[in-house]
Amino acid sequence: MWVRVTLLDKPGYLSSGRAITVTEPQLYALAEEDDSAGGVRIPVDRAEWVAWRAAAARYLLLLEEAAAGLQAADRRARRAAARTRPGPRRRATVAAEATYQEAAERYPVLARAASDGYWPIHCEIQRRVETQSGAQRWLLVLERFDGAELHPLWGLALVEQGPAACEVHVFRWDVPTALPQGAVCSERQLTAMELDRALLGLRAQWRVRRVHWAAEARAAVERETDGVPFELWWRAVTARTDAQEKVIPPRSAAPRSDAQRRQRTGRRRQEVLQLPDGDGEPPL
């Protein structure tokens, strides 16, 4: 189920000129289940929705109890001050004011304790809100660069470095680029998707020591996209889900014995292709 997210009231106290400021942040909570449009929504299951709303209610109840105690002490102190006379009444006023000061010092402590109890739920809701916001931004990026992966502008150049080993240079055919002497270029111009697949395929044939991404090609992309970072553009046009690596799931293996399964618990074979990073020369 998808439920709207709301912000709880920030703790604090203000009454007839007396104010107590609490440094606790405003916390996230789940709204009532409804079908109204608008607002940020996050995915939760029914058990989470019930438990998290109950926790938010407990948090608000603790704040209300702390504020009620403070308000009662405030009223007693004001009534005593209004009846101030020499003698016993004066002492009662001083005592009531002291009681209020104690309640005022205790209120931030109680508010902090209530926030601490609810904090893990707030953090999880915040994480899901940020995940949804990131997903929406990513969809906008994908939409902006839709079709850019079809332009055949890219090329590969290989430089052999010993038996079955090589360096790869990535460049654009339409941008003047100095390539190493002896480099063997791809026979045709590649689209971004074809380049992505070619880089993966090279690992099956060569021991690739390094991939050099031509600075001229990167600069051309950023110039054509009004300053969008090359790494973000590359993710968008190749449908990357991670800016740093592409993980290929392991193939299904034959059934293993219980002993073998226990020995390999937590281990997984991965093939990782590093994408362009800040220096333009990520290892492959």
Tens digit of pLDDT for each residue in 240-249?
543 333 333 3
> Is the pLDDT assigned to residue 86 strictly greater than 70?
no
How far is residue 254 CA from its own chain's centroid? 37
Give the per-residue pLDDT at 241. 43
120 or 134, which is more confident? Answer: 120
Question: How wide is the angle at C-alpha 246 spanned by C-alphas 242 and 251, nearest 5°?
Answer: 135
246 membership: H or E segment, kind and range: strand 245-248
Give the per-residue pLDDT at 273. 37
Question: How much is the average pLDDT of 39-45?
Answer: 83
> Is pTM beyond 0.75 here?
no
> Is the pLDDT assigned to residue 58 strictly greater than 90?
yes
Instruction: Decide: 282 and 213 in contact? Cβ < 8 Å.
Output: yes
> Is the pLDDT assigned to residue 282 strictly greater than 80?
no
Percent of the chain with pLDDT over 90: 13
Instruction: Decide: 59 and 117 in contact? Cβ < 8 Å.
Output: yes
Q: Which of 34-38, 120-124, 164-168 has the lowest mean pLDDT?
A: 34-38
User: How many Å apart are CA 225 and CA 259, to the nearest integer?
Assistant: 54
User: How many Å apart are CA 191 and CA 125, to the nearest integer?
Assistant: 40
Give the per-residue pLDDT at 283. 33
User: How many Å apart are CA 262 and CA 5, to the nearest integer?
Assistant: 42
271 or 81, which is more confident? Answer: 81
Q: What is the mean pLDDT of the chain?
A: 75
- Dig out the tokens for 241 from the structure: 């889900």
Give the per-residue pLDDT at 41. 84
Q: Where are the domains of the chain?
A: 2-144, 148-274
132: Cβ contacts below 8 Å, ≥ 6 apart: 40, 41, 42
pLDDT band at 119, cuts 50/70/90?
very high
- pLDDT tens-digit series, residues 186-232: 888 888 888 888 888 887 777 877 888 899 999 988 888 878 788 87
90 or 161, which is more confident? Answer: 161
Q: Which residues pair with 15 in a beta bridge?
A: 18
Give the per-residue pLDDT at 153. 86
- pLDDT tens-digit series, residues 137-157: 666 666 766 766 677 888 988
Q: Which residue in the block uniquely carries the two structure tokens 């997903």?
A: 135
Instruction: Decide: 192 and 154 in contact? Cβ < 8 Å.
Output: yes
Dihedrals φ, ψ of 229, to 5°? -55, 140
Give the per-residue pLDDT at 234. 82
Percent of the chain with pLDDT over 70: 72
124: Cβ contacts below 8 Å, ≥ 6 apart: none
248 or 67, which is more confident? Answer: 67
Give the per-residue pLDDT at 243. 34
Give the per-residue pLDDT at 242. 39
Helices of type H across the chain: 46-82, 88-144, 192-205, 215-224, 230-237, 258-263
